[in-house]
Amino acid sequence: MSVAARWIRLSADGVPSLQAACAGFARVQGPDSAPAALWARCGDDRHAIAVVAPLKFVPGRSSRWCAWLLAPLVAAYRVRGVTAYFDADRICLSGQPISGVGASAVGACAVVVADFAAWGEAFLQALRLRVEAQYGWRFDTSWPSAAEREAIAGALAAGVAGAA
């Protein structure tokens, strides 16, 4: 039986912006909230994906959260014919890292964010399908609720104020 989950596209000015937005998003989630994958374009061929999920949906040990998010990324690369592989909590291609990843607990959720090189919409669709298959989720494309948008905006404003 699959778990209902949310697939949300955000506008982000890079990975730090997406991390802040996801932390804000996570703060308004409860232990019974649906897991969500939030993603954004972070450059010409760079994207980032974050999984914000109540702790019951993620591996029990936080040390496994990064690999848990990278596994469907590696699978999506391979589906697209790219021979990517894991190397110390990152993905490499021909010995060169093509991703970064970080994880934290925020409120009742795990927030795991990875940036990666992506080539076209077909790759993003492959990633969506691999996340669904590997986690047992069924995505519905959605937008953040009003409370979630407010929390995201607050987190982004705090991030900008903290950086000044």
Domain encompassing residue 15: 3-163
- Give the strand order in the sheet containing 3-9: 99-106, 109-117, 46-54, 36-41, 3-9, 137-141
133: pLDDT strictly greater than 70: yes
pLDDT at 11: 86
Q: Is residue 93 classed exposed, middle or buried when 0-12, 13-18 and 19+ CB atoms within 10 A define those classes?
A: middle
pLDDT at 163: 42
Mean pLDDT of 4-10: 95
Lowest mean pLDDT among 52-56, 115-119, 127-131, 132-136: 115-119
pLDDT at 146: 96
88: pLDDT strictly greater than 70: yes
User: Cα separation of 47 and 38, whole Å?
Assistant: 11
Contact call for residues 124 and 39 (beta carbons, < 8 A): yes
162: pLDDT strictly greater than 70: no
Q: Is 10 left (phi over 0), alpha (psi -120 to 50) or beta?
A: beta
The CATH number for 57's domain is 3.30.930.10
The residue type found at 143 is W
Q: What is the pLDDT of residues 49-83, one digit of tens each?
A: 999 999 999 999 999 999 999 999 999 999 998 88
148: pLDDT strictly greater than 50: yes
Contact call for residues 142 and 8 (beta carbons, < 8 A): yes
161: pLDDT strictly greater than 50: no
Structural domain count, the chain = 1
pLDDT at 45: 79
Which of 76, 12, 78 is closest to 47 using CA atoms?
Answer: 12
